[in-house]
Structure 1
Amino acid sequence: MSIPTGPVDLDTVRHTLETTVMVDQVEIRRPTGTAPLDADTGLVGPVPTVPVWSGNGAVLSAHGLAAVEHLVGGRWLDDTASWYGLVTPLAAPLPQRGDLVTVTAAASPTTGTIGRTWQALDPGEASTVAVARVTRLDEVILT
């Protein structure tokens, strides 16, 4: 890990993150009610959701989050117990606990994230000094 020796230029760090890390398309949806019951099959359907935001971002594993620290030249994220993190620009809204995050397009042709869905474990992190929005995620399997 590199340690900055002088003042950190937050605009440069933000720009680096937005242009090299947040290169995938992600969608955030918020659950809005209860799942309907199909009376014919007895199965519960999906919980209705409304779109909250769609745009550039990244879903990174804990290993990916650690690698980004080296890219920006310093530690900018605390350790996490969750395995995944959503990184979005500061212009994106703060996700809420329970919001669903789906990767809709990925810049890398070898990604395994397209179409996978995660749930926000906590509200998106906020800070008086920030370079990106970071939200802890846990993968969910939707039927």
Structure 2
Amino acid sequence: MDLDAVRQHLESTVMVDTVRISRPTGTPILDVVTGLVGPAPAVLVWEGPGAVLSAHGLGTVERLVGGKWLDDTSSWYGLVTPLAAPLAQRGDRVEVAAAASATAGTVGRVWQVLDPAEASTVEVARVTRLDEITTP
């Protein structure tokens, strides 16, 4: 299998959204007027091509590529980024800044990184397990 061809195929057909990874750097700030806790201060870690896929979506990509290139995920979502992207860390926040498809349904949703980005000797993409952050 030509891993460089698989990598290029994934980058051109799957990683078509713009994703943003940010890392909290402090404690969330309490708004004394509203009594609501705001977001924690954060730094931008990565903004570039990627995809947020459900567990079903990850399996679909696997079939499109024509081979098994990742293990089953226990998480419902996975972030797929190019090898040029930095390794995400547990607790990082992930957002889709711009979706290539108008029907993607991912813009405006936020996920938290569950585990550090997966790494191995042979890679074609960065895969990071996510959990959606939902508001009460």
Distance in 1 between residues matched to 2:59 and 2:52, nearest whole Å: 13
The alignment's C-alpha RMSD in Å is 1.2
Equivalent residue for 1:3? none
Distance in 1 between residues matched to 2:65 and 2:111, nearest whole Å: 25
Listed as ranges, the gaps of 5+ residues in structure 1 are: 1-7
Distance in 2 between residues matched to 1:41 and 1:109, nearest whole Å: 34
Amino acid at match of 2:48: G
Equivalent residue for 1:83? 76
Distance in 2 between residues matched to 1:126 and 1:107, nearest whole Å: 27
Aligned structure 1 segments of 4 or more residues deviating by more than 6 angstroms: none
Equivalent residue for 1:63? 56
- Determine if the alignment matches structure 1 residue 96 to structure 2 residue 89: yes
Q: CA deviation at 1:119?
A: 0.5
* Partner deviation per Cα, 1:18-62 (whole Å, 9 max, x = no partner): 000000000000001101122333322211111001000000000
- Determine if the alignment matches structure 1 residue 110 to structure 2 residue 103: yes
**SS of alignment partner, residue 33 of structure 2:** coil
Equivalent residue for 1:4? none
Equivalent residue for 1:130? 123
Equivalent residue for 1:12? 5
Distance in 2 between residues matched to 1:9 and 1:95, nearest whole Å: 26
Say which one has the larger Rg: 1
Q: CA deviation at 1:127?
A: 1.0
Amino acid at match of 1:73: G
**How many percent identity over aligned positions?**
73
Amino acid at match of 1:122: D
Correspondence for 1:39 among 23, 32, 35? 32
Correspondence for 2:17 among 24, 27, 33? 24
Listed as ranges, the gaps of 5+ residues in structure 2 are: none
Q: CA deviation at 1:107?
A: 1.0
**How many aligned positions are there?**
136
Normalising by the residue count of structure 2, what TM-score does the alignment of the two structures yield?
0.96
Distance in 1 between residues matched to 2:44 and 2:9, nearest whole Å: 27
Amino acid at match of 2:88: P
Normalising by the residue count of structure 1, what TM-score does the alignment of the two structures yield?
0.91
Equivalent residue for 2:41? 48
